[in-house]
Amino acid sequence: MASVFHYFLLVLVFLDTHAAQPFCLPGCTCSEESFGRTLQCTSVSLGKIPGNLSEEFKQVRIENSPLFEMPQGSFINMSTLEYLWLNFNNISVIHLGALEHLPELRELRLEGNKLCSVPWTAFRATPLLRVLDLKRNKIDALPELALQFLVSLTYLDLSSNRLTVVSKSVFLNWPAYQKCRQPDCGAEILSSLVVALHDNPWVCDCRLRGLVQFVKSITLPVILVNSYLICQGPLSKAGQLFHETELSACMKPQISTPSANITIRVGQNVTLRCLAQASPSPSIAWTYPLSMWREFDVLTSSTGEDTALSELAIPAAHLVDSGNYTCMASNSIGKSSLVISLHVQPAQALHAPDSLSISSESNAYIDLRVVKQTVHGILLEWLAVADTSKEEWFTLYIASDEAFRKEVVHIGPGINTYAVDDLLPGTKYEACLSLEGQPPHQGQCVAFVTGRDAGGLEARERLLHVTVVLCVVLLAVPVGAYAWAAQGPCSCSKWVLCCCLHRRKAPSCPPAAPQSKDGSFREHPAVCDDGEGHIDTEGDKEKGGTEDNS
């Protein structure tokens, strides 16, 4: 009886101990450390932070999991949590209220995630945070007030991110740094502010000047984990240490040009030049009245540190190219512009007064484009400027070798669009525009192909399917049938040929394409199809008549 009672007491003790043990997530390990209870989940398939964690945990480590965000209210029941390690996950978003209900948090480690930015105001809820580890992320910018709510922070790791430019104001606004710069700051905490900024793609231009000066003059209370910060850009500074480089102050672009007023004759080549000095290096763009129609080559090169030269080349200038060309240079500090006036004069305007070499026909600049295209239609638009001041008429030609078609349209002054909606699908056409009474010149034509007709494609697909089915049927005919056909008095091929010759009909030929009086389009021979896959010309018809008479 005593042994039974003893066994019963052991069972009660076991059940009481098991019931008192806190809950631990499946696949994770829970342990007691000197600072309190710890939850560690490594390589566990957690898509989100569990919402049923015990309030007794002082440290939570979730690492190497598919965790992709820190949503708002993630730790609503963990007000005593002090250490949160979420390293080597896929976290790309931290919501603004993700750190709420964590007033006791002292360490936040997010190494090896995919963060591009951090909601720095979220740290208002963690006044006791001392360690913030953000290395090996994708952070590319730091606001000047990023550290203003990290009043207790003593360790900040931003190494191996994508930072290119950071203002020194980020650290000057750090409350811990401001406090320790005061005269009454105790010497015992002067070495407690540690910052890691190495392995970032720093761009050493004027925008980084403040940080470079800050790093050069850094003293306690700030300590750099690695003081050998290296420039990756621009090219002239690549590979230099912060301590070796000298950066100039930033300035908005200043533009100059060798000549702001240029006069040339029609047909000459001209290059407009614009020199811009700025820090950081400027970007240069050109604008001019006909930029939508006239596209010129622009070459921009660096002639020195913080200096760029842009050249706009105009080949074979026309009267229409006259006007103001604006060179605009801009950088992060500001922008400036400069106007270059180009005057293109007719060729005879620069000749001697007694010169007799005056062209007998007018010239015009014509730029023809396809604006809209469908299966059966086309919309053309053009820019046409004549050399003379009088209003000119133009002639539009639309022709196709495949469709045996040529259309001539006379266009009056002030009209610059024309639409055609009765073209054949899948056919190549050519459109040309010239002055009234003159043939089109090179560069005044545009070729295009109309779209495919979906109905025609479906019909061809059905024909292909029928052909495949017939082939399968023929292949399925017994070999004996072929032997019987071969022993007949007339082979199948001869019988088909005889029948086809007797049943042949006279071909009908489409009329030849109309000819242009200016001779700018080729003549098209009259070609016809008899519907049986045989093509005849007029010479074939005469030959056939001779054979019948014989």
Give residue-wise pLDDT tens across range 2-38.
554 445 444 444 434 344 455 788 888 998 888 889 9
Please tell me the number of Cα atoms within 13 Å of 65 on its side-chain side.
22
Q: Which pLDDT does position 122 carry in this prediction?
A: 94
pLDDT for the residue numbered 74: 83
Confidence tier at 283 by pLDDT (50, 70, 90):
very high
Q: Looking at residues 491-508, what average pLDDT do you find?
A: 43
Query: How far is residue 93's CA from residue 74's CA, in Å, rounded to a whole number?
Result: 13
Q: Does the pLDDT of residue 493 top 50, yes or no?
A: no
428: how many CB neighbours lie within 10 A of its CB?
13
Q: What is the pLDDT of residue 289?
A: 83
pLDDT at res. 9? 46
pLDDT higher than 90, residue 352 = no
Is 251-345's fold the same as 365-450's?
A: yes
- Nearest Cα neighbor of 172 from 201, 142, 204, 129 is 142
Instruction: Say which range, 44-53, 175-184, 217-226, 368-377, has the weakest mean pLDDT.
Output: 175-184
Give the residues across from 342 on adjacent strands.
262, 323
Residue 460 confidence (pLDDT): 58
Q: From 143, 160, 156, 159, select the one nearest 192 (Cα to Cα).
A: 156
Minimum mean pLDDT range among 119-133, 146-160, 421-435, 520-534 = 520-534
Handedness of CA 323, 324, 327, 330 (dihedral sign): negative
Instruction: Tell me the C-alpha distance between 78 and 58, whole Å.
Output: 8
Residue with tokens 């700051």: 185
pLDDT in tens, 360-393: 445 677 778 887 888 888 888 887 776 666 777 8
pTM, full prediction? 0.61
pLDDT at 527: 33
Given the candidates 3.30.460.20, 3.80.10.10, 3.10.580.10, 1.10.10.10, the CATH classification of the domain at 24-183+190-241 is 3.80.10.10
Query: Looking at per-residue confidence, does 509 or 168 come out higher?
Result: 168
Q: Do 249 and 279 contact (CB within 8 A), yes or no?
A: yes
Let me know the angle formed at the C-alpha of 445 by 299 and 518, rounded to the nearest 5 degrees: 140
Tokens representing 170 are 């980020």
Is a pLDDT exceeding 60 seen at residue 519? no
Give the residue among 236, 325, 335, 324 at the shortest CA–CA distance from 276: 335
The radius of gyration of the chain's CA atoms, rounded to the nearest angstrom, is 42
pLDDT of residue 341: 95
> What pLDDT score was predicted for residue 363?
63
Interatomic CA distance for residues 201 and 203, integer angstroms: 6
Whether the predicted pLDDT of 525 surpasses 80: no
Q: How far apart are CA 434 and CA 432, in angstroms?
A: 7
Instruction: Using pLDDT thresholds of 50, 70 and 90, give the confidence band for residue 76.
Output: confident
pLDDT at 531: 39
pLDDT of 130: 95
Q: Supply the pLDDT for residue 62.
A: 93
Across 328-346, average pLDDT: 92
pLDDT at 367: 77
The pLDDT assigned to 47 comes to 83
pLDDT at 395: 87
Q: Where are the beta strands (DSSP E) in 258-411?
A: 261-265, 270-279, 283-287, 297-304, 307-314, 323-330, 335-345, 364-373, 378-386, 394-400, 405-411
Burial (CB < 10 A; 0-12, 13-18, 19+), residue 9, is exposed
Q: Are 119 and 140 in contact (CB under 8 A)?
A: no
Q: Which has the higher per-residue pLDDT, 539 or 461?
A: 461
Q: Which of 160, 132, 136 lies closest to 146 in space, CA to CA?
A: 132
Residue 115 has pLDDT above 90, yes or no: yes
> Is it the case that residue 423 has pLDDT exceeding 60?
yes
Please give the CATH number for the structural domain made up of 365-450: 2.60.40.10
Pick from 214-228, 485-499, 515-529 the range whose average pLDDT is largest.
214-228
Q: Is the distance from CB of 419 to CB of 377 less than 8 angstroms?
A: yes
Ranking 36-40, 82-86, 182-186, 284-288 by mean pLDDT, the lowest is 182-186
pLDDT greater at residue 78 or residue 452: 78
For residue 299, list its beta bridge partners.
311
Please tell me the predicted confidence (pLDDT) of residue 121.
95
Three-state secondary structure string covering 418-432: EEECCCCCCCEEEEE
- Identify each DSSP E strand in 69-218 by its residue range: 69-70, 83-85, 93-94, 107-109, 131-133, 155-157, 193-196, 202-203
Lowest mean pLDDT among 34-48, 260-274, 435-449: 435-449
Residues forming a β-bridge with 380: 370, 418
Asked if residues 529 and 540 have their Cβ atoms less than 8 Å apart, the reply is: no
pLDDT band at 184 (very low <50, low <70, confident <90, very high): low
477 — pLDDT class (breaks 50, 70, 90): low
Quickly tell me which residue has 């305007």 as its tokens: 349
CA distance 66 to 113: 10
Give residue limits of the domains in the chain.
Answer: 24-183+190-241, 251-345, 365-450
The pLDDT score that the predictor gives to residue 529 is 40
Angle at 53 between CA 51 and CA 57, to 5 degrees: 145
| Mean pLDDT within 73-102 | 92
Q: What is the pLDDT of residue 533?
A: 39
Cβ-count burial of 54 within 10 angstroms (0-12 exposed, 13-18 middle, 19+ buried)? middle
What average pLDDT does range 295-299 have in this prediction? 90
Please give the pLDDT value at position 362: 53
pLDDT confidence of residue 350:
46
Predicted confidence band of residue 497 (pLDDT cuts 50, 70, 90): very low
From CA 398, how far away is CA 423, in angstroms rounded?
Answer: 10
pLDDT digits 0-9 by tens, 310-336: 999 999 888 888 999 999 999 989 999
Residues 505-534, mean pLDDT to the nearest whole number? 40
The percentage of residues in the chain with a pLDDT greater than 70, rounded to a whole number, is 74
Q: Report the alpha-carbon distance of residue 193 to residue 179 in Å, rounded.
A: 11
Q: Beta strand pairing status for 36-42 and 57-63?
A: parallel
Mean pLDDT of the chain: 78
The topology (CATH level 3) of 251-345 is Immunoglobulin-like (2.60.40)
Question: In the predicted model, is pLDDT for residue 54 greater than 90?
Answer: no
| Nearest in space to 196 (alpha carbons), one of 215, 176, 177 | 215
